Structure 1
Amino acid sequence: MRAKKHLSKIAILAFSFVLAGCGSTPIKQQPAKDENKPVIEEKKEIPPEKDEYHKSVGKLTVSKDTFESDKAEILRTIEILKTIMSDFDYQSWLLYVDNESKAYWSKPANLKKAQGKLPIKGLQLRTLQDYFKYVFVPSRAGRNITTIRYESENYIKAVQVTNQASSETEEKYTVYYYFNKIGGHWQLHLPEIDG
């Protein structure tokens, strides 16, 4: 009996040495995951002055809802104008132009000034329809108007953002349309010639 106890002690000691000699590395305990704990994702906030709404309204007091509504109406109108321009439908185009622009661009002296600034020399602008056909349509063909910029609460530029400038505060865009709000609706405005 004594020999059995002695053998079992030797076996226990031998087993302990075998375990110690295996060279196993201790396993690090992984913290238990709490399935009920919400995962917090880091979102990069766009500073207010750099988001589309703030770029568009600047310092004017135009609500976000009004901005969204105005932008949607103007972009919808531009889509209609694209069809009108592709068909060279002058009469339909006139329905979208404000009266001030029609009056200004119907004057021969103003058409002559515009004619002098055209890249194609010798092209005659005698009527507003000539302006539509030779100036308005070609300068807007194939343009992708993406957003608006307010000049005032009732005057907007429709623009194509061409690229982001290197400066965080600058933005480069090209203006292709101007709109006046008249009677609660946006109408196409044709700016006067400088000089």
Structure 2
Amino acid sequence: MWYAIIELNKMKTLILIIPLIGLLSCASKPESPQPVAAPPIVAEAPPAEPVPEPVAAPVEEVFDPATVTVQEYTVTKAEIERFVTALNGIVKAGNYNGWLAYLAKAYIDEISSPEFLDRMSKTAPRLVSQKIVLKSAQDYFNHVIVPSRANSRVDDIEFVTHTRVKAITENRITKERLRLYELERIDDLWKIVN
């Protein structure tokens, strides 16, 4: 009987000790508080932007001078001859403002630029030999255009496009073809563009 009592006491002790061991193991090993995990941040993708279709570079048409009709050539040459004849009168008179009216805006800007004036001053043989330094478009008109273009004549034209032509003059002795002006029809008027 003692044996049963001892066994019973051992069991009671064991029943009491097991939870105590569990408590002691928890107490002996303090757990650090676990941080509460924040919900994962899900980055929202920006709304997809439509991908633009590749834009093909504008196809520049190659001008074929063979498309110029005889009538177009004849009419255009007559217009250019009248243009140059009227321009000659303005140049002979030294009418700077009248001359400007025959130029395209982009060409006026070009011949007014310091780079253009400097280049002309350093490369035009007559300007270099006379030590003339151009400071304005009016200087260019007085020192380059008046002496060289007052008696211009159009011997031929070459089409660059249907609305852009080169007025050609020919040296009567050497037969060399020289570009007199490059003109473009702008707002239905011929203007010097180069």
**TM-score by structure 2 length?**
0.60
**Does the alignment pair 1:100 with 2:106?**
yes
Could you list the per-position Cα deviations for residues 7-39 of structure 1 after superposition, in whole angstroms to 9, with x for gaps in the alignment? xxxxxxxxxxxxxxxxxxxxxxxxxxxxxxxxx
4+ residue runs over 4 A deviation: none
Cα gap change, 1:103 to 1:145, in 2 (>3 Å): same
Who wins on radius of gyration, i.e. which is larger? 2
Task: Give, as a single letter, the amino acid of the residue that structure 1 aligns with 2:191.
Answer: Q
* Residue matched to 2:56: none
1:126-141 mapped onto 2 (5 Å cutoff)? 126-141=135-150
**Does the alignment pair 1:77 with 2:83?**
yes
Gaps of 5+ in 2: 1-62
Measured in 1, the distance between the counterparts of 2:138 and 2:155 equals 27
- Residue 180 (structure 1) aligned to one of 179, 184, 193: 184
Aligned residues: percent identity? 26
Gaps of 5+ in 1: 1-56, 166-170, 191-195
**Does the alignment pair 1:155 with 2:164?**
yes
Checking the alignment, whether the CA contact within 8 Å between 1:163 and 1:173 is kept in structure 2 is: no
1:1-195 mapped onto 2 (5 Å cutoff)? 59-119=65-125, 120-121=127-128, 122-162=131-171, 172-190=176-194
Could you list the per-position Cα deviations for residues 105-163 of structure 1 after superposition, in whole angstroms to 9, with x for gaps in the alignment? 11112211111112132201111111111112222233332221112222211112336
Checking the alignment, whether the CA contact within 8 Å between 1:58 and 1:150 is kept in structure 2 is: no
Q: How many residues align?
A: 129
- Provide the alpha-carbon RMSD of the alignment: 2.3
Offset at 1:58?
6.8
